[in-house]
């Protein structure tokens, strides 16, 4: 069972630095975050890297699918200039680089598996094998989340002792059956689609409920009062 801090830095700290980069992890730590969320997908040669979108265009100087380039080719791209000139040359990190830095900075981690279609099991298998090999047994293990049922099923097989969270948009009426089937102890829902009664039902059932992505401090305080364990935010802080 993970002891969640109230805030989780979304894609590192997407409001403070280019998302899913080492700079974003450093920015989250500097801002006082205790935990960060990162998006993980596979390169063409099957290596796990941090990147949110299927395509490179929005957050790097590359074009086309991330999955079309090898890890070596991805590492040559600039994933920082689009955010601000001060981040020019910031690379797309590998999962190994990101987790090593999180350990160095003392950040807890939420690994979101973002598989390309058809690579759900492979993404979970590869990413979590890499993560398990470098994550010390003495540190609380990362939370593994995904919208993909298949990725979560594979996660259960690869790192059975690590907590898993099912990602959803609006909370589906069958949330309990779906989380039970996957042995997920955490449900992660879109805060914009939340219904107060549903929040009560979920927390009353003993399920840990996290939400994404919220930057409004007043609404954050309201959701914590209602029993949300942690909120994914682009502007994480210590309080
Ligand atoms: O983990 C919550 C959140 O990161 C899911 O949405 O699109 O930002 O990956 P997205
Ligand atoms: Ca994410």
pLDDT in tens, 9-62: 999 999 999 999 999 999 999 999 999 999 999 999 999 999 999 999 999 999
Catalytic residue among 26, 52, 114, 164: 52
Q: Tell me which H or E stretch contains 38.
A: strand 35-42
> Checking DSSP bridges between strand 230-233 and strand 208-212, what pairing results, if any?
parallel
Rounded mean pLDDT, 120-130:
98
Closest C-alpha to ligand 1, atom 7? 52
In a domain, 139, yes or no: yes
pLDDT at 78 over 90: yes
Catalytic residue among 10, 26, 41, 47: 10
In a domain, 105, yes or no: yes
Q: Is the CB of 39 under 6 A from ligand 1?
A: yes
154-159 long-range Cβ contacts below 8 angstroms, 24+ apart: 154/120, 154/121, 154/124, 154/125, 154/128, 155/113, 155/124, 155/128, 156/182, 156/183, 158/124, 158/125, 158/128, 158/129, 158/132, 159/128, 159/131, 159/132
In a domain, 167, yes or no: yes
Residue ranges near ligand 2 (ion) with Cβ within 5 Å: 39, 112
pLDDT in tens, 170-217: 999 999 999 999 999 999 999 999 988 899 999 999 999 999 999 999
Rounded mean pLDDT, 220-235:
97
The range of the structural domain enclosing residue 59 comes to 7-233
In a domain, 238, yes or no: no
For position 101, which CATH number holds? 3.20.20.190
Closest C-alpha to ligand 1, atom 6? 212
Average pLDDT, the chain: 97
Is 160 marked active-site?
no
In a domain, 1, yes or no: no
- Domain total of the chain: 1
């Amino acid at each position: 069972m993970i002891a969640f801090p109230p805030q989780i830095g979304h894609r590192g700290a997407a409001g403070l630095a280019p998302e899913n980069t080492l700079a974003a992890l450093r920015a989250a730590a500097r801002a006082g975050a205790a935990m960060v969320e990162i998006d993980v997908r596979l390169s063409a040669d099957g290596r796990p890297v941090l990147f949110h979108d299927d395509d490179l265009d929005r957050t790097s100087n590359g074009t086309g699918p991330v999955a079309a380039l090898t890890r070596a080719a991805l590492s040559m791209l600039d994933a920082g200039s689009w955010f601000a000139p001060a981040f020019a040359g910031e690379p797309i990190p590998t999962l190994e680089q990101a987790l090593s830095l999180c350990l160095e900075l003392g950040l807890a981690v939420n690994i979101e598996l973002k598989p390309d279609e058809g690579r759900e099991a492979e993404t979970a298998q590869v990413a979590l094998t890499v993560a398990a090999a470098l994550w010390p047994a003495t540190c609380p293990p990362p939370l593994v989340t995904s919208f993909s049922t298949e990725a979560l099923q594979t996660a259960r097989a690869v790192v059975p002792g690590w907590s898993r969270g099912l990602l959803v948009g609006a909370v589906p009426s069958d949330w309990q059956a779906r989380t039970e089937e996957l042995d997920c102890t955490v449900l992660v829902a879109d805060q914009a689609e939340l219904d107060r009664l549903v929040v009560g039902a979920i927390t009353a059932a003993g399920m840990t409920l996290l939400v994404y992505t919220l930057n409004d401090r007043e609404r954050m305080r309201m959701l914590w009062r209602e029993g949300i364990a942690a909120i994914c935010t682009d502007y994480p802080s210590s309080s």
